[in-house]
Structure formats: C-alpha cells, structure tokens
C-alpha cells in the first residue's frame, strides 16, 4: 500500500491501461480525469517504459498532482493522480 505522510491514498476511480499503447495510455487517463470532480483521486495501472515516463509527466503538465508512483516486481506500475481544480485543455 502506498502512503503519503503516513496516510493511505484511497482512489475514487481506477483504470487499467496495462494493455494499451501510447498515445492511448494518456488518452484513456485524460478521459478518466475529465470525468472526475476536482480533488478526486485516480489510480492508474500501467506497464512499460514509455507510459511510465509519459503519463505522469503529461498529467502534471495539465495541472494534476502526481501523488505516488510504484512499480511492482511484476513490472506493473500503480500511479495515483489528484484531479486538478481546473485542468489545462491544451
């Protein structure tokens, strides 16, 4: 379990993009974030070097907070994002 300052991070919504390829990895992540309320937390399961590099970076560029990112021994990473109050629509 991932913690931030000793508190567990509970997700409001979860998506699994382990079977998707870029750019669909961020497209699916962005669509999920767009459907959420500001402040809610999205948990994203992803796999691969490119999504691991691009999804957190692009989410942060759009104003969302990257809360945590952990990679398991199986190669699957779990990313937790907090939906921004008003995300960039660029």
Give residue-wise pLDDT tens across range 28-52. 999 999 999 999 999 999 999 999 9
For residues 47 and 52, what is the distance between their CA atoms, to the nearest angstrom?
7
For residues 3 and 10, what is the distance between their CA atoms, to the nearest angstrom?
9
Place of tokens 């000793």: 6
User: Which sign does the torsion angle of CA 47, 52, 54, 60 carry?
Assistant: positive
Domain architecture of the chain: domains with CATH: 3-82 (3.30.110.40)
Is 58 in the active site?
no
How many residues can be counted in the chain? 90
CA dist list (Å): 18 to 39, 51, 76, 86, 89:
24, 9, 7, 27, 25
pTM for this entry: 0.85
Average pLDDT along the chain, 90 residues, taken 10 residues at a time: 53 96 93 97 96 96 96 95 77
Residue tagged active-site, from 9, 11, 13, 22: 22
């Amino acid at each position: 379990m991932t913690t931030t300052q000793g508190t567990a991070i509970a997700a409001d919504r979860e998506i699994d993009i382990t079977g998707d390829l870029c750019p669909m990895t961020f497209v699916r992540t962005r669509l999920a974030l767009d459907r959420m309320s500001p402040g809610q937390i999205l948990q994203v399961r992803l796999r691969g070097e490119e999504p691991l590099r691009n999804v957190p970076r692009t989410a942060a560029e759009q104003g969302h907070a990257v809360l945590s990112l952990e990679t398991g021994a199986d190669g699957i990473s779990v990313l937790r994002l907090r939906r921004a109050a008003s995300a960039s629509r660029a």
